[in-house]
Amino acid sequence: MPRLQMLLSVALIALAGCTAQEAPRKAELVQAQPGYTDLGGLRVHYNLLPTLAMNDAVARSYGVERQPDRALLVVALRQLAAGDELPSTGTVQASATDLSGKRQTVQLRPVQTGAYTDLIGELDAHARDQLRIELQVASAIGTGNVQFKRNF
């Protein structure tokens, strides 16, 4: 019995040592990343969201099937003019790379949203993964590369 008490005492001391942690700190707000980049007179809006995050009506309007492990990339090109954003055209090539280094080319297609034409594309996006998106944008009013990351 004394041996059992000694083992329990040692175990409790060891556990006590494991729970000694740094004192809790106040949470710090992380600044949200902007969802756009300006390339000269061209503003490139972008977003990447799980298809399950869309409601049925939006998914239908985009012609997208809501599925687990799938994401929708949305890219919108706008011309900046006196503080306004006007419809613009251009070409966009997109790719996504996950944490394991697997690279996907994202096929973008146009969709009409009111007076604007946006570009959308579907890709694989698994839970607890991070995707790094790279956009190559070319337009008469602005050209360049855009990169952003999203966690799933």
Q: What is the pLDDT of residues 34-68, one digit of tens each?
A: 799 999 999 999 999 999 999 999 999 999 999 99
pLDDT number for residue 114: 86
pLDDT at 28 over 80: no
Chain segment 59-110, per-residue pLDDT in tens = 999 999 999 999 999 999 999 999 899 999 999 999 999 999 999 999 999 9
Q: How far apart are the first and last CA of the chain?
A: 52
Residue 7 to residues 1, 11, 14, 16, 48: CA-CA distances in angstroms? 10, 6, 10, 14, 54
pLDDT at 123 over 60: yes
- Domain boundaries defined on the chain: 34-151
Residue type, 81: A
pLDDT at 4 over 90: no
Domain 34-151 fold: Immunoglobulin-like (2.60.40)
Rg (CA), the chain: 24
Residue type, 70: R
Q: Which helix (H) or strand (E) holds 6?
A: helix 2-19
Cα(52)–Cα(42) distance, integer angstroms: 30
Cα(52)–Cα(152) distance, integer angstroms: 12
pLDDT-derived band at 135 (thresholds 50, 70, 90) equals: very high
Sign of CA dihedral 119, 122, 126, 130: negative
Q: Which of 49, 47, 51, 48 is nearest to 68 (CA)?
A: 51
Q: Which of 48, 66, 45, 52 is nearest to 130 (CA)?
A: 48
Cα(80)–Cα(85) distance, integer angstroms: 5
pLDDT-derived band at 115 (thresholds 50, 70, 90) equals: confident
